């Protein structure tokens, strides 16, 4: 079965420090990968996506992710975080059938807390 | 600005009540989804619709039903609410075509408490 695993449930960091949120996917899922962010009391919004092409993907708010096929990973990074980055982050990938029906499998989520 | 609107942000219901959660999207998307979000479990798919009047069960359909009479509207129904259905419910939509195929657009969520 397809799966997406986020390796950390909570990541605390200090403001202006770098951060990496880890995501691994099973080799059976489609190699389309997404990161979504959920700010407190809001729905999810797309942060970035990998569909094909360059393995380094840049997203909104200074985030980037690197698709690594050999390690089946799609880790999210930011070189310097702000208090406003405090949120929950979800890695996701389409289920069988590709992207046309949009049925995504989500990881369990990583809560990023940025301390002053 | 594109939008997915959920009718209620917060609801409190009693066990056994019938509950309707409404979702409307203005992007002319074919696909619409209802997810349930619980701490530590991520998002779990309840039901999915790929066209008007068409629906498919997701991973956790028990205790829920859905209705899609118009393309822009997708309703989630709890026939007889139970305490274990206390959760955050997220509606989403997506297009089958174009550069954003596969990308989900989410509403702000409906937090349901069943007493």
What secondary structure does DSSP assign to B52-91, as a single string?
TTEEEE-S--TTEEEEEEETTEEEEEESS--GGG-EEEEE
Contact between residue A92 and residue A34 where contact means Cβ atoms under 8 Å apart: yes
Mean pLDDT on A38-62 = 90
CB pairs under 8 A between A and B: 66
Quote the number of domains for chain B: 1
Name the B residues in 54-113 with CB < 8 Å from any A CB.
58, 90, 92, 94-97, 101-104, 106-109
> B109 and A98: CB-CB below 8 Å?
no
Q: For position A111, what pLDDT does the model report?
A: 96
Instruction: Write the pLDDT tens digit of every residue in B56-70.
Output: 999 999 999 999 999
Q: For position B2, what pLDDT does the model report?
A: 67
pLDDT level of residue A3 (50, 70, 90 thresholds): confident
Who contacts A105 (Cβ-Cβ below 8 Å, separation ≥6)?
Answer: A2, A3, A4, A29, A92, A93, A94, A95
Kindly report the length of chain A: 116
Mean pLDDT on A101-108 = 82
- The dihedral through the CA atoms of B33, B68, B110, A47 has a sign that is positive
Cα–Cα distance measured from residue B72 to residue B12, given in angstroms and rounded to the nearest whole number: 26
Instruction: Write the pLDDT tens digit of every residue in B92-106.
Output: 998 876 656 668 899
The region of weakest confidence among A33-42, A92-101, B76-85 is A92-101
Q: Is the pLDDT of residue A14 over 70?
A: yes
The region of weakest confidence among A43-57, B3-17, B24-38 is A43-57
Cα–Cα distance measured from residue A15 to residue A27, given in angstroms and rounded to the nearest whole number: 35
Q: Is the pLDDT of residue A99 over 80?
A: no
Mean pLDDT over all residues of chain B?
A: 92
Mean pLDDT on B11-29 = 96
Cα–Cα distance measured from residue A74 to residue A56, given in angstroms and rounded to the nearest whole number: 10
Q: Is the pLDDT of residue A112 over 90?
A: yes
Mean pLDDT over all residues of chain A?
A: 89
**Any A CB within 8 A of B21 CB:** no
For residue A14, what are the CA distances in angstroms to A19, A84, A85, A88? Answer: 9, 12, 11, 16
Cα–Cα distance measured from residue A73 to residue B56, given in angstroms and rounded to the nearest whole number: 30
B94 vs chain A: nearest CA distance in angstroms? 6
pLDDT level of residue A94 (50, 70, 90 thresholds): confident
| CATH number for position B43 | 2.60.40.10
Mean pLDDT on B31-42 = 92
Supply the range of the domain harboring residue B79: 4-114
β-sheet bridge partners, residue B77: B20, B65
Q: Is the pLDDT of residue B11 over 80?
A: yes
Domains of chain A (ranges; CATH) run: 4-115 (2.60.40.10)
Q: For position B80, what pLDDT does the model report?
A: 96
DSSP B5: E
- Nearest CB to A102; choose among B31, B90, B109: B31
Contact between residue A40 and residue A15 where contact means Cβ atoms under 8 Å apart: no
- Nearest CB to B107; choose among A34, A43, A103: A43
Structure tokens at A43: 């729905």
Q: Is the pLDDT of residue A29 over 60?
A: no
Report residue A30: phi and psi, to 5°. -60, 145
């Amino acid at each position: 079965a397809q799966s997406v695993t986020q390796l950390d449930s909570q990541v605390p960091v200090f403001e202006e420090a770098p951060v990496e949120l880890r995501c691994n996917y099973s080799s059976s899922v489609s190699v389309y990968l997404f990161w979504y962010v959920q700010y407190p009391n809001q729905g999810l919004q797309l942060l970035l996506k990998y569909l094909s092409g360059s393995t380094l993907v840049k997203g909104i708010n200074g985030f980037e992710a690197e698709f690594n096929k050999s390690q089946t990973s799609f880790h999210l990074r930011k070189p310097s975080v702000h208090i406003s980055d405090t949120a929950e982050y979800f890695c996701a990938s389409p289920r069988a059938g590709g992207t046309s029906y949009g049925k995504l499998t989500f990881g369990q989520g990583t809560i990023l807390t940025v301390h002053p | 600005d594109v939008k997915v609107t959920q009718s209620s942000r917060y609801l409190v219901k009693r066990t056994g009540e019938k509950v309707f959660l409404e979702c409307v999207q203005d992007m002319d998307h074919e696909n619409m989804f209802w997810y349930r979000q619980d701490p530590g479990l991520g998002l779990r798919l309840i039901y999915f619709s790929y066209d008007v009047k068409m629906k498919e069960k997701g991973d956790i359909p028990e205790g829920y039903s859905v209705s899609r009479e118009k393309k822009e509207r997708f309703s989630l129904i709890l026939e007889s609410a139970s305490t274990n259905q206390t959760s955050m419910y997220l509606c989403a939509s997506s297009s089958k075509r174009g550069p954003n195929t596969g990308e989900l657009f989410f509403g702000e969520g409906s937090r349901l408490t069943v007493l």
